[in-house]
């Protein structure tokens, strides 16, 4: 017993090289102590295996993950070329690539929307907060809608990845021009 906890000693243990998910134990004894009393049990065995299954729990951690989210932009382009060569649809990989480009420009879009809201009068700050929340939700909905349209072939991939940024930038420039002209957003 170590610090009041059960002690386990494995004189002969080996780990399987396939992802370190199997622990094989040969000819040993295991002593298990009960914390509430001084009693303990000794278990003798010649061979034992523990199946850990670490890889399964890692992959189950996020069931909604997409393989395209784990690839770099160059790997996405390679995967689309491989899919095209194999005769399958390369659009999901190309859309993921263009979505990444769009995500890089998202802060610019939000800055163009946020600047006029920050320059507005104090009485309309609450309205600015609500417009910000609405803008975030609208951006997400638009990006998913355009992404689906790009995958279905209704929009070119580049346009589908950037259209939400272009719309938000246009609204941002429009509100910024109103602030510059009138001094506040009305």
For 86-114, write each residue's pLDDT tens digit. 998 888 888 989 988 888 889 998 888 88
Residues 134-154 have a mean pLDDT of 92
Q: Are residues 118 and 97 in the same domain?
A: yes
Q: Are residues 72 and 60 in the same domain?
A: no
HSE-up (13 A, CA, CB side) for residue 5: 4
Residues 135-140 have a mean pLDDT of 91
Domain C-terminal end among 65, 93, 112 = 65
Question: What range does the domain containing 148 cover?
Answer: 66-182
Cα-Cα-Cα-Cα torsion 136, 139, 142, 144, nearest 10 degrees, comes to -80
Residue 56 above 50 pLDDT? yes
Could you tell me what percent of the chain has a pLDDT over 70? 62
């Amino acid at each position: 017993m170590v610090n009041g906890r059960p002690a386990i000693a494995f004189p002969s243990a080996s780990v399987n090289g396939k992802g370190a998910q199997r622990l094989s134990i040969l000819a040993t004894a295991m002593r298990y102590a009960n914390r509430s009393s001084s009693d303990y049990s000794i278990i003798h065995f010649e061979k034992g295996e523990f199946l850990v299954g670490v890889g399964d729990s890692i992959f189950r951690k996020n069931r909604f993950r997409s393989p395209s989210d784990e690839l770099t932009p160059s790997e996405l382009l390679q995967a689309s070329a491989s899919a095209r060569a194999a005769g399958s649809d390369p659009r999901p990989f190309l859309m993921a690539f263009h979505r990444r480009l769009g995500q890089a420009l998202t802060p610019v879009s939000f800055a163009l929307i946020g600047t006029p809201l920050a320059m507005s009068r104090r009485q309309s700050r609450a309205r600015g907060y609500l417009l910000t929340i609405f803008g975030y939700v609208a951006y997400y909905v638009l990006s998913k809608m355009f992404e689906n349209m790009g995958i279905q072939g209704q929009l070119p991939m580049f346009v589908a990845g950037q259209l939400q940024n272009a719309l938000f930038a246009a609204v941002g420039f429009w509100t910024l021009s109103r602030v510059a002209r009138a001094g506040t957003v009305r």
